[in-house]
Structure 1
Amino acid sequence: MPGARIAEGDSVTLRTVEKEDVPFLQRAGANPEIRYPLGNPLRNREAIDVDEADGTDRLLVCLDGEDAGPGRPDEGETRRIGAVSVEGVDYRRPELGYWLIPEVHGRGYGTEAVGLAIDYAFRSYDKPAVGAGAFDHNDASRGLLESLGFVEEGRRRKFMFVDGAHRDMVRYGLLREEWRDG
């Protein structure tokens, strides 16, 4: 089950990723509805290393039940619905990554989870900004970032071959002073 609670919103909770969460991450990452919009390669469970100290904070997006406390919840007290990451914190401005399982899309969970991740990044690291990227064809992800105040900073043209076409990567940034709690 997911680990300790890191941040809690009105609907979602961010919890630490534990070894027991790897099967969920691998299954979800293999889902074409998640993988293609993100441009992620297929990875087996061994390729997902939650213990790796690589300057990335990996967090699960969960729907907690009323009995789920701040520590490790018991089976059935929380439901995994996605993941967020804060990458590159050791040497550059943090970059956010995120995804949710398709059956919860359109309910506002992504906006809340990314907002909690922004709060977490600014609270945990003395960095002036956070960044994120979205492929030009991923309108939902671009809309989410823009709704949180991210500003388009550039475009990497034909950045990656994704879902049958070479796609542009749109780069976004959010300054600490632009963030609602900054």
Structure 2
Amino acid sequence: MPGPVFLRGDSVTLRPAEEEDLAFIRRCMNDPRVWRPALDVNPMNREQGTEFLERVVSDEDGVQCLVCDGDEPLGFVSLTGSRYGPDETSRSRSAELAYWLAPERHGQGYGSDAAARMVRYAFEDRNLRRVGARLGSFNDASAALLESLGFEHEGTLREAAWFRGEYHDVLRYGLLREDWRDRR
């Protein structure tokens, strides 16, 4: 039985991940079409999945949700604290957006809907001033998604990611609340 709905988008719902969702999360996180673009190279077994649920999903400094269509899980979206630590996050009122979808769900608009709903939550409910995101320069689909939401390319970390035998740049994107509000 899926957990309660936390947020509703146009075509998806976002809900907390539960223990029964671990098989789906592990399946996706072990698929190279998910972990490579997510810049993650480690496999996830049952014990690591449980640790992920306890350590990451249950972390009070961020919001991590399963992206669903009805009862069916489609992916994951999160809003986490600044990489500079919790004190910096509270002072700057910023967070980082991340997301992934099951490969069979790519290109169907679910990621855009989930990300847009999480950004709205960040600005309206958490009173954040800024949302950032990072991605490999090879991830054109994610760059297009972010740009469609109003994110701007703010910088490039040259050759900061290893992907399929080569170094690639990591792109940093950001969106300020005032710019988001002007687009609505």
Q: TM-score range by the shorter chain?
A: 0.7 to 0.9
CA root-mean-square deviation: 1.7
Structure 2 counterparts to residues 3-152 of structure 1, below 5 A: 3-41=3-41, 42-48=43-49, 49-52=52-55, 53=59, 55-64=61-70, 78-88=71-81, 90-91=86-87, 92=89, 93-152=94-153
Structure 2: give runs of 5+ residues left out of the alignment.
none
Q: Which has the higher helix share?
A: 2
| Cα distance in 2 between the residues matched to 1:137 and 1:160 | 10
| Cα distance in 1 between the residues matched to 2:60 and 2:161 | 23
| Cα distance in 1 between the residues matched to 2:115 and 2:159 | 26
Q: CA deviation at 1:139?
A: 0.3
Q: CA deviation at 1:172?
A: 0.4
| Cα distance in 1 between the residues matched to 2:62 and 2:45 | 19
Q: CA deviation at 1:94?
A: 0.7
Sequence identity percentage: 42
Structure 1 stretches of 4+ moved >4 Å: none
Q: CA deviation at 1:54?
A: 5.7
- Equivalent pairs, count: 169
Pair 1:46–1:56, CA change in 2 (3 A):
farther
Contact 1:50/1:58 (CA < 8 Å) preserved in 2? Answer: no
Pair 1:2–1:155, CA change in 2 (3 A):
farther
Query: Under a length normalisation based on structure 1, what TM-score does the superposition of the two structures give?
Result: 0.86
Q: CA deviation at 1:109?
A: 0.9
Contact 1:2/1:60 (CA < 8 Å) preserved in 2? Answer: no
